[in-house]
Structure 1
Amino acid sequence: MMNDIENRTDIILLVDRFYNHVQENQEIGPIFTEIAQVNWVHHLPKMYDFWESILFGKAIYKGNPMLTHFSLNQKIPLQEAEFSIWKAIFIQTVDELFAGENAETIKQKAQSIADLMHFKINSPKTDLNII
């Protein structure tokens, strides 16, 4: 029987494994490695803080993921396909490693965050001058 996500050590395991899978993915891996040119040494600790904040309510994450993704969207359009792949890899990674209430919660949160991010990035821009 697999354990649930209990602490930061579990978050680190999840995040590291997830981003290994992301980098190996032919569709979205190049977005991270070639287009965004992610500095993993810098990025991964931020993601540990992000997910620890999301799952355990610790106010340790400092950053604005929307601004980062809006900027990335200027370089390559982030569409439904990219978000769907990201969500599938995240869920698969959680399911590989964990089972339990926190595992289910983090999967739900990840899907909600990805869906909201996709919506904000791809929603029609309203021209207020037309009104």
Structure 2
Amino acid sequence: MTLQDISNLDDIKLLVNTFYDKVQKDDLIGPIFNERILGRWPEHLEKMYRFWQTILLEVHTYSGTPFPPHKHLPTNQSHFDRWMEIFTSTVDGLFVGKLAEEAKVRAANMAYMFNYKIEYFRNLENH
């Protein structure tokens, strides 16, 4: 199978569905996601389709602020490392090209920012 670049909403859905299927089964980060999302996986996946479609395809279907729902997650650097490991392997297993690389860069930037902000707010609350 020759891998292609991410080019449309179906590709975004394949990426998101494959990624979150792996996340839900992961021993480290799966419980965090499954506990908070519970029976709302379809709703979460729809939101993620819109988010990545907006970022990668410049089809502006997502509006909102992604950080607040993550502010109080019981996470540390190891959780974000695993998230990136799963995301990167998912992208690399499905796609190759400019937008595939852009997806990994954007995900890495988000993981860094989310972890930094979570730590910042956690430290503020503990002082």
Quick check: TM above 0.5? yes
Cα deviation 1:67-107 (Å, max 9, x = unaligned): 10014x2xxx2110111100110000001100111101101
Matched, 1:120 2:117: yes
What TM-score, normalized to structure 1? 0.87
Q: Which structure 2 segments of 5+ residues have no match?
A: none
Q: Distance in 1 between matches of 2:23 and 2:33?
A: 8
Q: Distance in 2 between matches of 1:38 and 1:118?
A: 25
Q: Which residue of 2 aligns with 1:129?
A: none
Q: Which structure 1 segments of 5+ residues have no match?
A: 127-131
Q: Distance in 1 between matches of 2:38 and 2:66?
A: 16
Kept in 2, the 8 Å contact 1:32–1:38? The answer is: no
Q: Distance in 1 between matches of 2:10 and 2:37?
A: 27
Structure of greater Rg: 1
Q: Which residue of 1 aligns with 2:59?
A: 58
Cα deviation 1:3-36 (Å, max 9, x = unaligned): 1101111000000000000011011001111244
Matched, 1:18 2:19: yes
Kept in 1, the 8 Å contact 2:91–2:104? The answer is: yes
Question: Percent same amino acid at aligned positions?
Answer: 41
- Helix, strand or coil for the counterpart of 1:117? helix
What TM-score, normalized to structure 2? 0.89
Kept in 1, the 8 Å contact 2:37–2:44? The answer is: no
Match of 1:85 among 71, 82, 85: 82
Q: Which residue of 1 aligns with 2:40?
A: 39
Q: Distance in 2 between matches of 1:33 and 1:43?
A: 11
Q: Distance in 1 between matches of 2:66 and 2:117?
A: 12
- Helix, strand or coil for the counterpart of 2:124? coil
